[in-house]
C-alpha cells in the first residue's frame, strides 16, 4: 500500500513539475525584457499585442487539450484513473487550505504594493485588469457549470465542471506573474506553485475530476491574459495615496478616508 501511494504521489509530482516548467516558458511576458526600463503606463502597440496574444494562448490551449484527453478512457491521464487513485490511496484526505490558498497570489500583489515594491503597472491599472479578469471568469465558469451540470466526485452537487477554485488560483498566479515576474522568477514560481497546489487539493478533496481542474486552470490563465491585452492603459501617471481627515457631526468625532489610485 505504501509503495503504491509513493508511485501515485510521484506521478502527480512529475506532472506538477512539468506543468510549472511549461507555464514558466509559455506564459512569459512577451515584452518584459524589451520594456523593463519603460514606465508602467507604457501602451503596447498593435504589433506587440498580436505577438503577445499568440504566446498567451499556448498555455491555455495546452491545458484544454490535456483536459480533453482526461475525458477519454486511458490508464493514466484520465478522470477515472486519477479518481480511482485518490479513492484507493487517499480516501480520508480532507483539508480546507484550498479555499484560502486560491486567493494568495492576488493578496501577494497588493501586499507587495503596500510594501512599496511596485509592479509593472500602476495600482489603478492592476485593479482594473484584475476586476475585468474576475468578471469574465465568473461569467464563463458559471455558464459552463450551468450548461454541463456535471456531478462532483463526492456527489455533493452538479457544479463540478470546471473548477472555480482552480480558475481563481490561476487568475491570481498569472496576475502575480505579469506584475512581478520580470523582477524575479520566484514570484512566478511561487504563484503557479500555489495555484497548482489548489488544483491538486480540489482533486484530493474529492471535489473535482482532473479535467475540471485542467479546464479551470486554462480559463484562469486565458481570461487574465485577455484582460491585459484589452486593457486601456492610462497615458499619464496619477498621484496615489491615502487621505485621512477628522470629522465632527452632531457631537460625534470620527474620521473619513479616501484612496486616490
Model confidence over 184-215: pLDDT tens digits?
999 999 999 999 999 999 999 999 999 999 99
CA 171/CA 192 separation, integer angstroms: 10
Lowest mean pLDDT among 108-117, 139-148, 242-251: 242-251
DSSP one-letter code for 152:
P
Mean pLDDT of 42-70: 86
Residue 21 pLDDT > 50: no
Q: Which of 84, 72, 109 is nearest to 214 (CA)?
A: 72
Cell numbers given for 32: 518584459
CA distances from 61 to 64, 88, 109, 233 (A): 5, 31, 26, 27
Model confidence over 89-132: pLDDT tens digits?
999 999 999 999 999 999 999 999 999 999 999 999 999 999 99
Q: Which residues contact 58 (CB under 8 A, 6 or more apart)?
A: 26, 27
Longest alpha-carbon distance in the chain: 73
Q: Give DSSP secondary structure letters for 132-153.
A: HHHHHHHHHHHHHHHHH-PPPT
Model confidence over 247-257: pLDDT tens digits?
545 555 455 55
Cell numbers given for 3: 509503495
Instruction: Identify whether the C-beta of residue 197 lies closer than 8 Å to the C-beta of residue 244.
Output: no
CA 81/CA 70 separation, integer angstroms: 9
Residue 39 pLDDT > 50: no
CA 45 to chain centre: 26
Mean pLDDT of 209-225: 97
- As a residue count, the chain comes to 261
Residue linked to cell 485593479:
127
Residue 25 pLDDT > 80: no
CA 13/CA 19 separation, integer angstroms: 10
Residue 147 pLDDT > 90: yes
Residue 233 pLDDT > 70: no
CA 146/CA 125 separation, integer angstroms: 32
Instruction: Identify whether the C-beta of residue 244 lies closer than 8 Å to the C-beta of residue 134.
Output: no
**Averaged confidence pLDDT in the chain:** 82
Domain boundaries, the chain: 2-260
CA 102/CA 121 separation, integer angstroms: 22
Q: At 232, is the pLDDT very low, low, confident or very high (cuts 50, 70, 90)?
A: confident
Q: At 4, is the pLDDT very low, low, confident or very high (cuts 50, 70, 90)?
A: low
Q: Which of 2, 244, 241, 3 is nearest to 122 (CA)?
A: 241
Residue 71 pLDDT > 80: yes
Amino acid at each position: 500500500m505504501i509503495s503504491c501511494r509513493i508511485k501515485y504521489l510521484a506521478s502527480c509530482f512529475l506532472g506538477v513539475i512539468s506543468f510549472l516548467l511549461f507555464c514558466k516558458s509559455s506564459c512569459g511576458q512577451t515584452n518584459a525584457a524589451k520594456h523593463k526600463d519603460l514606465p508602467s503606463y507604457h501602451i503596447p502597440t498593435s504589433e506587440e499585442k498580436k505577438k503577445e496574444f499568440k504566446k498567451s494562448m499556448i498555455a491555455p490551449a495546452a491545458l484544454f487539450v490535456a483536459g480533453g484527453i482526461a475525458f477519454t478512457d486511458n490508464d493514466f491521464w484520465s478522470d477515472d484513473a486519477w479518481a480511482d487513485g485518490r479513492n484507493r490511496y487517499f480516501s480520508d484526505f480532507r483539508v480546507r487550505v484550498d479555499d484560502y490558498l486560491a486567493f494568495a497570489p492576488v493578496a501577494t500583489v497588493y501586499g507587495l504594493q503596500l510594501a512599496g515594491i511596485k509592479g509593472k503597472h500602476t495600482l489603478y491599472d492592476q485593479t482594473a485588469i484584475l476586476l475585468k479578469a474576475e468578471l469574465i471568469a465568473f461569467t464563463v465558469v458559471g455558464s459552463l457549470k450551468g450548461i454541463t451540470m456535471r456531478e462532483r466526485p463526492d456527489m455533493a452537487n452538479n457544479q463540478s465542471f470546471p473548477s472555480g477554485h482552480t480558475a481563481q488560483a490561476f487568475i491570481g498566479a498569472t496576475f502575480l506573474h505579469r506584475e512581478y515576474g520580470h523582477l524575479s522568477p520566484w514570484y512566478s514560481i511561487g504563484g503557479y506553485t500555489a495555484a497548482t497546489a489548489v488544483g491538486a487539493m480540489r482533486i484530493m478533496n474529492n471535489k473535482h475530476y482532473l479535467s475540471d481542474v485542467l479546464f479551470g486552470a486554462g480559463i484562469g490563465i486565458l481570461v487574465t491574459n485577455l484582460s491585459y491585452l484589452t486593457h486601456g492603459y492610462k497615458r499619464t501617471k496619477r498621484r496615489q495615496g491615502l487621505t485621512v481627515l477628522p470629522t465632527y457631526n452632531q457631537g460625534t468625532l470620527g474620521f473619513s478616508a479616501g484612496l486616490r489610485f
